[in-house]
Structure 1
Amino acid sequence: MKDGKMAEHLGETHELKRVMGPGLLLLFIVGDILGTGIYALTGQVAAEVGGVVWLPFLVAFGVALLTAFSYLELVTKYPKAAGAALYTHKAFGIHFLTFLVAFAVMSSGITSASTASRAFAANFVASTGLASGGLTITLVALAFIALVAAVNFRGVGESVKVNVLLTVVELSGLLIIIGIGFWAIMGGQGDVSRAFTFQPAQDHGLFWSVIAGTTLAFFAMVGFEDSVNMAEECKEPSRIFPKVLLGGLIITGVIYVLVAISAITLVPAADLGEGETPLLKVVQAGAPGFPISVFGIITMFAVANSALINMMMASRLIYGMAREGVLPALLGRVHAKRRTPYIAILFTTSIAVLLITFVGAVPALGGTTALLLLCVFAIVNIAVLVLRKDKVEHKHFRTPTIVPVLGAISCVFLAGPWTGRDPIQYAIAGALIAVGILFWFITVRVMKTSAQPA
């Protein structure tokens, strides 16, 4: 691939319409972070640490904050779309590494959408009273991901108004949990002391149990990195991004800690860790008169938004790499009538179907998403330091050198097997990256063959 073509693909030559001010950007960031993670994985975090379920979310917030500072320096220095792939290309100039980062981001989108599909199905089953069971949840999840593919195929884009609406729905569900929890506490219901009770899984001590919980909770904090792809559509991105991105992270971090405290106050850790609908149990325990179907619908809206955004991102990323010759040209075909990348949509949806069918469990899929992004974040933190030598004419945010250093170390640490991470997550991530590498070599071989004279 020529450097010019790579640069064009990474957003260095085209200008998008700048329509997002600080308010809309904040809603985008908050809406992107909120969603599947806190709705689906709170119980699994509780299973690792017991009552101090809020602590892994707080640690995950700290790690995300370190990496967010690195993203802030890069997005204000290079206010272009393409995010991690752009920064990797600028820092290292290795096309294969750029491809791996882009493919890892794409894969994280598919695993995140698969997680959302399972969470949607679990809440749908619980809200409608269908026969609960693994097969039922899997079938509903598969039907849901097929619906997402159909919407994706029709080319329905996410407008700013829709994003605002879905963000309000997502936020309302979490505020309901916080409200129910604190209302119950004021009424003498529940047990606040549980929020400070440590109950490690197996024989792990406090440190390693919290780290194991953090590897799960980190999934709830991802999404802030997507905002850098909106840089070309923001007004004065170099000026507004620092306050808005940090503000969005702080808002979501506070909400997550309050939700965790409310949940554990009303539902014991052992009960919270069973099943795939932990927050529905909180509503039932703290407000039995509250229509459970209403909260189930709110939850489904939240995770549906996550699934659609991630599958659209994944299919467009595959399409873009195919159009640039990094993947087989077949994946870059566009439907004549709908003008959507239908082969890329079919490809990404097929991977999601396999993950939902054969992996299934939300923690495995959510953990894989976090694992892939932790690896990408480590590279981004290193890229900040490498790109310090690259000077730009305009003023930009500059993070203290120690921050990206700590960010890279913490991301690498949380990605390691010593954290107690389920080995299935490495297997899933490895299989996805192996598929990408295979496509890379196939494409290179095809391009060399086509370049040879007849």
Structure 2
Amino acid sequence: MSGTSPTAAGVPDELRRRLGVPDAVLVGLGSMIGAGIFAALAPAAAAAGSGLLLGLALAAVVAYCNATSSARLAARYPASGGTYVYGRERLGEFWGHLAGWAFVVGKTASCAAMALTVGAYVWPGQAHAVAVAAVVLLTGVNYLGVQKSALLTRAIVALVLAVLAAVVVTVLPSDAADAGRLDIGADASAGGVLQAAGLLFFAFAGYARIATLGEEVRDPARTIPRAIPLALGITLVVYALVAVTVLAALGPQRLADATAPLSQAATAAGADWLAPVVRAGAATAALGSLLALVLGVSRTTLAMARDRHLPTALAAVHPRFKVPHRAELAVGAAVVVLVATVDVRGAIGFSSFGVLAYYAVANASAWTLTSAEGRPPRAVPVVGLLGCLALAFALPLSSVLSGAAVLALGAGVFAVRRVVGEQRGA
């Protein structure tokens, strides 16, 4: 993301427009179908029981509205930056700053959730130690300028889809899968379903990667609006099949208590051979997501530091490795602190609050578009904005309080920066 221009973010003045609809859909799938589905089902079941399926549908509706609003804004502003740019251009500098702040906060918590997912599936008894090691390792990898390639992204998506397919095909028809456990919503309250939707939103959050490809797709006004719903629809079908399978195998209570739901579902179905495969797939997906997240958050931190929304010391670029090394070390340190102090459920809730705040700004920005600017149907940003706020404040109270406090801190930083700037100008 960038607060000024693509050049300010350290990329060429003009990126090559080489991606068509299939390519953009693959990018969206690579961003969404990852470790989130391995981690988010358990806290959703704890909130809503079998109502997690209703929560999944609600999360998808909000994600669709967010995606549509983001796509229309991306078509209007076909440059790297996302809601950091949209909020600034449509609502004012403060809202752009707040969106960028929410992105950094939410995605830093996502890094912690991904690291803890690695630990939960690799070595449950030492999940936090494994998570810290993973963060340190991948921060070092990013520091040396090694990035996840498009080829690696495709390989990880293929691996994750293969693992999820194996779980569905093997577990669902088994004797352990009791269809009677799928009395959808029988044990759920409206508040529980809303909270489950907010937690499951974590597994959809990558779809905006398509909307930020404005400079890299052919005919963005046509390609992006087509690619986002296709990617989102495919992801929803995959997630629904997996959720039904795991819920049927474990039941709501066992799923709520699970630390590694998909591998435990395989064991419950008597497919012990599948459990290590699932653990390996989950760890690989989480490591891939963690690598990309650390990369993305550090670049956003760099852009905000260059715009003086964060300390300018974080804008330094390493003379040899050509990476924002101080930003990467700062992000890595913040993630290590989170990993050492929270569990995966707390990290998911905190991440969801930040990301939902980010998309609330996106929907508010989309509302200001005129029909000549490609405004979406009026209901879309309205439902998206209200949905984001409802899901954010339905999250566990600890997530709401901590998330709101961090956003308030971000607003305070903006106010101090504004006052200091005015004094210097005087």
| TM-score, shorter chain, exceeding 0.5 | yes
Aligned positions of 1:103-252 closer than 5 A: 103-126=101-124, 132=125, 136-184=126-174, 188-198=175-185, 200=187, 206-252=189-235
Separation (CA, whole Å) in 2 of partners of 1:242 and 1:207: 32
**What is residue 129 of structure 1 aligned with on the other side?**
none
Displacement of 1:353: 1.3
Structure 1 letter corresponding to 2:351: T
Structure 2 letter corresponding to 1:376: Y
Displacement of 1:327: 2.4
TM (normalized to structure 1)? 0.87
The reply on whether 1:385 has 2:367 as its aligned counterpart is: yes
1:250 and 1:316, CA in 2 relative to 1: closer, same or farther beyond 3 A? same
Q: Deviations over 1:211-247 (max 9, x none)?
A: 1211211111111112212221112221111221101
SS at match of 2:370: helix
Separation (CA, whole Å) in 2 of partners of 1:23 and 1:197: 34
1:77 and 1:289, CA in 2 relative to 1: closer, same or farther beyond 3 A? same
Q: Deviations over 1:80-113 (max 9, x none)?
A: 2211111111212x22321111111111111111
Q: Of 389, 398, 403, which aligns to 1:429?
A: 403
Displacement of 1:10: 8.0
Contact 2:88–2:97 (CA under 8 A) maintained in structure 1: no
Displacement of 1:147: 0.8
Displacement of 1:318: 0.9
Contact 1:216–1:367 (CA under 8 A) maintained in structure 2: yes
**What is residue 88 of structure 1 aligned with on the other side?**
87
- Which consecutive residues of structure 1, in runs of 5 or more, have no partner in the other structure? 127-131
Displacement of 1:197: 5.0
**What is residue 415 of structure 1 aligned with on the other side?**
392
SS at match of 2:111: helix
Contact 1:381–1:405 (CA under 8 A) maintained in structure 2: yes
**What is residue 31 of structure 1 aligned with on the other side?**
30
Q: Deviations over 1:336-359 (max 9, x none)?
A: 22121111111111111111112x
Q: Deviations over 1:167-202 (max 9, x none)?
A: 112222222222123332xxx5421121115454xx
Contact 2:90–2:365 (CA under 8 A) maintained in structure 1: yes
Displacement of 1:164: 1.0
Structure 2 letter corresponding to 1:361: D
Contact 2:199–2:349 (CA under 8 A) maintained in structure 1: yes
**What is residue 374 of structure 1 aligned with on the other side?**
356
Contact 1:322–1:329 (CA under 8 A) maintained in structure 2: yes
Separation (CA, whole Å) in 1 of partners of 2:107 and 2:177: 37
1:10 and 1:239, CA in 2 relative to 1: closer, same or farther beyond 3 A? farther
Structure 2 letter corresponding to 1:98: G
Separation (CA, whole Å) in 1 of partners of 2:323 and 2:11: 23
Instruction: Give the number of aligned pairs.
Output: 424
SS at match of 2:283: helix
SS at match of 1:231: coil
Displacement of 1:321: 1.7
Separation (CA, whole Å) in 2 of partners of 1:330 and 1:448: 21
Q: Which has the larger radius of gyration?
A: 1
TM (normalized to structure 2)? 0.92
Displacement of 1:287: 4.3
The reply on whether 1:365 has 2:347 as its aligned counterpart is: yes
Separation (CA, whole Å) in 1 of partners of 2:419 and 2:145: 32
My pick for the range that moved more, 360-369 or 439-448, is 439-448
Displacement of 1:288: 2.3
Identity among equivalent pairs (%): 25
Displacement of 1:432: 3.6
Structure 1 letter corresponding to 2:82: G
Displacement of 1:206: 2.9
Contact 2:59–2:197 (CA under 8 A) maintained in structure 1: yes
Separation (CA, whole Å) in 1 of partners of 2:250 and 2:207: 30
Q: Deviations over 1:257-304 (max 9, x none)?
A: 111111111112211111421111111122424242222111011111
Separation (CA, whole Å) in 2 of partners of 1:302 and 1:208: 31
Q: Which runs of 4+ in 1 moved over 6 A?
A: 10-13, 448-452
The reply on whether 1:315 has 2:289 as its aligned counterpart is: no
Q: Of 404, 422, 426, which aligns to 2:381?
A: 404
Contact 1:138–1:356 (CA under 8 A) maintained in structure 2: yes
Displacement of 1:31: 1.4
Q: Of 278, 281, 287, which aligns to 2:261?
A: 278
Displacement of 1:207: 1.8
Separation (CA, whole Å) in 2 of partners of 1:287 and 1:19: 47
Displacement of 1:313: 0.8
The reply on whether 1:97 has 2:70 as its aligned counterpart is: no
1:11 and 1:117, CA in 2 relative to 1: closer, same or farther beyond 3 A? closer
Separation (CA, whole Å) in 2 of partners of 1:342 and 1:226: 23
1:348 and 1:432, CA in 2 relative to 1: closer, same or farther beyond 3 A? farther
Separation (CA, whole Å) in 1 of partners of 2:378 and 2:185: 35
Instruction: Report the RMSD for the aligned CA atoms in angstroms.
Output: 2.5
Contact 1:194–1:265 (CA under 8 A) maintained in structure 2: yes
Structure 2 letter corresponding to 1:190: A
**What is residue 260 of structure 1 aligned with on the other side?**
243
- Which consecutive residues of structure 2, in runs of 5 or more, have no partner in the other structure? none
1:326 and 1:13, CA in 2 relative to 1: closer, same or farther beyond 3 A? farther
SS at match of 2:59: helix
Separation (CA, whole Å) in 2 of partners of 1:316 and 1:251: 29
1:10 and 1:111, CA in 2 relative to 1: closer, same or farther beyond 3 A? same
1:5 and 1:58, CA in 2 relative to 1: closer, same or farther beyond 3 A? closer
Q: Of 266, 275, 279, which aligns to 1:296?
A: 279
Contact 1:180–1:287 (CA under 8 A) maintained in structure 2: no
1:445 and 1:73, CA in 2 relative to 1: closer, same or farther beyond 3 A? closer
SS at match of 1:55: helix
**What is residue 344 of structure 1 aligned with on the other side?**
327
